[in-house]
Structure 1
Amino acid sequence: MYDGQPGSGDVTNDPEMTLEDFLTKAGAVREEDVVVKLPPVEYSGGGGGGEVVVYQGGGGGYGGGVGTRGRGKRKVLVEDLVVDKATQQKQRRMIKNRESAARSRERKQAYTVELESLVTQLEEEHAKLLKEVDELNKQRLKQLMENLMPVVEKRRPPRVLRRTNSM
C-alpha cells in the first residue's frame, strides 16, 4: 500500500482496501472529498455493522467547499447524519459494483489486446503464405516453360485480297 512517503515504493495487495481508499491514497481524490469513516453503529438485529465511506461530490474550485473558511455555505458533515443499515448496505453494494465493473473493464481490455495481437500474427502469417504461393506458382511456370518443346510455326501464306466490282 502506498503510505505517502516519497522513498517507499512498497506496494501490497490489501483485499480490504476500497475504491475510495485507493483513490484517496493515490491522490486522485482529495481527502476533503472523502468524509471520515463512521464508527460502527450497533443495531438490535446484529451483524451488518461496519464502516461506511461517503463521497461528498464537492465541486472543483478552492477547497471544494468542505471544511473551508471561505465564503458560501458550508456542507453538512456526514458525522451529523444518522446512517441506517439499509443505506450502509446500499453504499457497500455500490462500491463493490464499481470495483467489479473496473475488474470487468480490465479483463475486457486484456482480451481486446490479446485479440489484436492474434490478428497481427495472423495477418503476418497470411502475407507470408501469399508470398510462398506466389513463389511456387512462379517456379511451376518456369518448369513448364523448360519442359515444353519449342514449336516452330509455319509461315502462313499471305492473305489474298480480291477485287470486287459491286458498283
Structure 2
Amino acid sequence: MASSKVVVTTNPDVPSQSSISSQVWDEVVAGTESQDMTINLHDLLLTSVVTNDAVPPSRGGRGKRKPVEEAVVDRATQQKQRRMIKNRESAARSRERKQAYTVELESLVTILEEENARLLKEEAERRRQRFNELMECLIPVEEKSKPRRMLRRVNSAQW
C-alpha cells in the first residue's frame, strides 16, 4: 500500500481553525449537532487540507520574517486522493448492497424451505387419502377355478 502525504499550508491568508475532529468532539461533548451532518470523507479530507491542523507558527523573534510556507499539495496528488476517496465510498456502497442482497436471499431461502415442508406434508396426506379411497372402492376379485383340461382330437390322426 503506497503512502501519501497530506501537506498542510500555514498560509496566513487562510483563517486559523481547529481541526474538524476536535470540532466534532466539542459538539459531541456539548450535546449539540452541526448544522450540516452530511459530511463525507471527501469533504473531511479537503477541509483538513485547507484548514491549519498544525501548531500555528510563533510570531516572536524577528518581526520581518515571512512565515515558512510548505508546498501545496500538487494537482496529481489531489486527484489521486479524490480517486481513492471515491473508490472507498463505492466499495462501502457495494458492501452494503451485497449485505442487503445476502439478507434478502436468506429470507427467501427460509420462506421456500417452509413452503417445501408444507407441500411435502400436503402430498403425503393426499397420497394417504387416495390409498384409503382405493381400498374402500376395491372390488374383491375371486379367482375362478381353472377349467379341467380336456382332451382334443389331433388333426394329424387319421380315421
TM-score range, shorter chain: 0.5 to 0.7
Cα distance, 1:112 vs structure 2: 1.0
Q: Does 1:38 align with 2:49?
A: yes
- Counterpart in the other structure of 1:86: 76
- Counterpart in the other structure of 2:111: 121
C-alpha separation in 2, matches of 1:10 and 1:128: 54
Cα distance, 1:80 vs structure 2: 3.6
Select the residue among 28, 37, 47 that pairs with 1:4. Answer: 28
Give the fraction of aligned pairs with identical amino acids, expressed as a percent.
58
Mapping 1:5-84, distance limit 5 Å: 5=29, 7=31, 14=38, 16-18=39-41, 21=44, 37-39=48-50, 80-84=70-74
Select the residue among 131, 134, 139 that pairs with 1:141. Answer: 131
- Counterpart in the other structure of 2:95: 105
Q: Does the CA-based 8 Å contact 1:19-1:99 persist in structure 2?
A: no
- Structure 2 counterpart of 1:4, which letter? V
Closer/same/farther in 2, CA of residues 102 and 123 from structure 1, 3 Å limit: same
Bigger Cα Rg: 2
Closer/same/farther in 2, CA of residues 20 and 10 from structure 1, 3 Å limit: closer
Cα distance, 1:38 vs structure 2: 2.2
Figure out how many residues of one structure are paired with residues of the other and give that number.
Answer: 105
Residues 40-85 of structure 1: CA deviation (Å, up to 9, x unaligned) = xxxxxxxxxxx8xxxxxxxxxxxxxxx9xxxxxxxxxxx8453101
SS at match of 1:83: coil
C-alpha separation in 1, matches of 2:35 and 2:72: 35
Q: Does the CA-based 8 Å contact 2:42-2:85 persist in structure 1?
A: yes
SS at match of 1:37: helix
Name the one with the larger helix percent.
Answer: 2
For structure 2, the residue ranges without an aligned partner over 5 or more in a row are 1-23, 56-68, 145-159
Higher relative contact order (CA 8 A, sep 6+): 2
Instruction: Give the root-mean-square deviation of aligned CA atoms.
Output: 3.8
